[in-house]
């Protein structure tokens, strides 16, 4: 399979307690062949990144998830620059703990609460993609559910009715938990998320957040590469089968 497309620069933020930073760097760099650098959370400069580049807030347990997941990381020095970068139209992707940080930082609406079964859950789940109108979903077949793992204790998405309404009206809901046939049923909802919401974007469509881990499902050797298409979409890669 040959890949050709745009070169995109990625910066993966390392908070104290991030533990999916290396996984993200592996997929973006080694698997997707993009330029990727680690960004220590105490840094404040993002001058090397342009509008077409992407800052990733990876999974993990920033600050041990003490207090509330993501609640302390939003005060890390780098976050001020990340918010500024996003406000200037740069791409920001938050996965799992990164989604929690993005919500806490106000980059995305809503909050992520403790799973309804009160337990950490690690398993593969099916995702229904609701729109192609986002850089990260542009190449995804909406009819074909993706199998992507989750691994979190606080992934129950919650937002007030007005927010939910505007998310729907603006086509900001990217992924919903579903069964293997694409039905977003209660049984297919692993954590009690409102309306089965698994991933969203902001109104400007340049900040993405999701609980599932596409970086854990992007290589054939792992027996599942359903998540890879999210990175391919984001990078704008044209894939020759």
Partner 1 sequence: MQITEPQVNLEVAKNLGLTEEEFNKIQEIMGRMPNFTELSIYSVMWSEHCSYKNSITLLKTLPTDGDNMLVEAGEENAGLIDIGGGLGCVFKIESHNHPSAIEPYQGAATGVGGIHRDIFTMGARPIAALNSLRFGNLDNKHTQHLVKGVVSGIGDYGNCFGVPVVGGEVYFNDCYNQNILVNAMSVGIVKAGETCSACADGPGNPVFIVGSATGKDGIHGATFASADLTEDSADDLPAVQVGDPFQEKLLLEASLEAIQTGAVVGMQDMGAAGITCSTSEMSAKSKTGMKINLDKVPTRQANMQPFEILLSESQERMLIVGEKGKEHLLEAVFDKWDLECELIGEVTNTGMIEYHSQGKIIAEVNADSLVLGGGAPIYTRETSLPKYFEKIKAFNIDNIVEPTNILESAKNLFASPNIVSKRWVYEQYDSMVRTNSLSTNQPSDAALVRVKGTNKALAVTTDCNSAYVYSDPYKGAMIAVAEAARNITCSGGVPAAITNCLNFGNPYNPEVYYQFTNAIKGMGEACRKFNTPVTGGNVSFYNQTVLPEGTEPVYPTPTIGMLGILDDYKNQMTLDFKAEGDLIFMLGNAKNDISSSEYLRIEHDIHHSPTPHFELEEEFELQKSIQTLILKKLVASVHDISEGGLFVTLMESGMVGNLGFNINTDPAFRKDAYLFGEAQSRVVVSIKSENEVAFLQFLEEQNIAKTKLGKVFGSKVTIDDKEFGEMNEWKNVYDNTLKNKLEE
Which residues contribute to the site for partner 1 (CB under 8 A)? Answer: 16-17, 19-20, 22-23, 26-27, 42, 59-61, 63-66, 119-124, 149, 151, 153, 213, 215-216, 219, 221-224
Least distance to partner 1 from the beta carbon of 167, Å? 28
CA angle 110, 184, 109 (to 5 degrees): 10
Pick the catalytic residue from 20, 96, 178, 201: 96
**3-state secondary structure (DSSP) of residue 5:** coil
Q: Is 99 exposed, middle or buried (0-12, 13-18, 19+ CB in 10 A)?
A: buried
Cβ distance to partner 1 smaller for residue 74 or 216: 216
Instruction: Say whether 213 is catalytic.
Output: yes
* Those residues with Cβ within 8 angstroms of residue 96's Cβ, 6 or more apart along the chain or in another chain: 20, 58, 59, 60, 150, 151, 152, 155, 210, 211, 212, 213
Least distance to partner 1 from the beta carbon of 199, Å? 18
- Rounded to whole angstroms, the Cα distance separating 207 from 42 reads 22
Instruction: Say whether 201 is catalytic.
Output: no
In this structure, is the dihedral angle defined by the CA atoms of residues 131, 136, 140 and 143, taken in order, positive or negative?
negative
Cβ distance to partner 1 smaller for residue 169 or 187: 187
Cβ distance to partner 1 smaller for residue 10 or 85: 10
Cβ distance to partner 1 smaller for residue 108 or 125: 125
Least distance to partner 1 from the beta carbon of 138, Å? 24
Active site residue ranges: 96, 213, 215
């Amino acid at each position: 399979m040959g890949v050709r497309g745009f070169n995109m620069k990625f910066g993966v933020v390392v908070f104290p307690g991030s533990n999916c930073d290396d996984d993200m760097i592996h997929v973006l760099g080694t698997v997707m062949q993009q330029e990727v650098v680690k960004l220590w959370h105490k840094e404040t400069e993002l001058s090397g990144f342009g509008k077409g580049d992407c800052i990733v807030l990876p999974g993990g347990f920033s600050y041990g998830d003490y207090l509330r997941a993501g609640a302390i990381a939003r005060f890390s020095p780098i976050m001020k620059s990340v918010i500024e970068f996003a406000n200037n139209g740069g791409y920001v992707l938050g996965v799992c703990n990164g989604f929690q940080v993005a919500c806490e930082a106000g980059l995305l609406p809503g909050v992520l609460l403790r799973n309804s079964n009160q337990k950490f859950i690690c398993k593969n789940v099916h995702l229904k993609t609701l729109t192609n109108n986002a850089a990260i979903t542009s190449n995804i077949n909406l009819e074909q559910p993706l199998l992507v793992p989750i691994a979190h204790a606080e992934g129950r998405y919650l937002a007030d009715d007005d927010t939910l309404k505007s998310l729907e009206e603006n086509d900001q809901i990217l992924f919903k938990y579903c069964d293997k046939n694409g039905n977003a049923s209660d049984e297919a909802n692993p954590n009690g998320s409102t309306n089965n919401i698994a991933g969203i974007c902001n109104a400007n469509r340049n900040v993405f957040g999701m609980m599932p881990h596409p970086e854990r499902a992007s290589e054939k050797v792992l027996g599942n590469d359903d998540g890879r298409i999210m990175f391919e979409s984001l990078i704008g890669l044209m894939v020759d089968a």
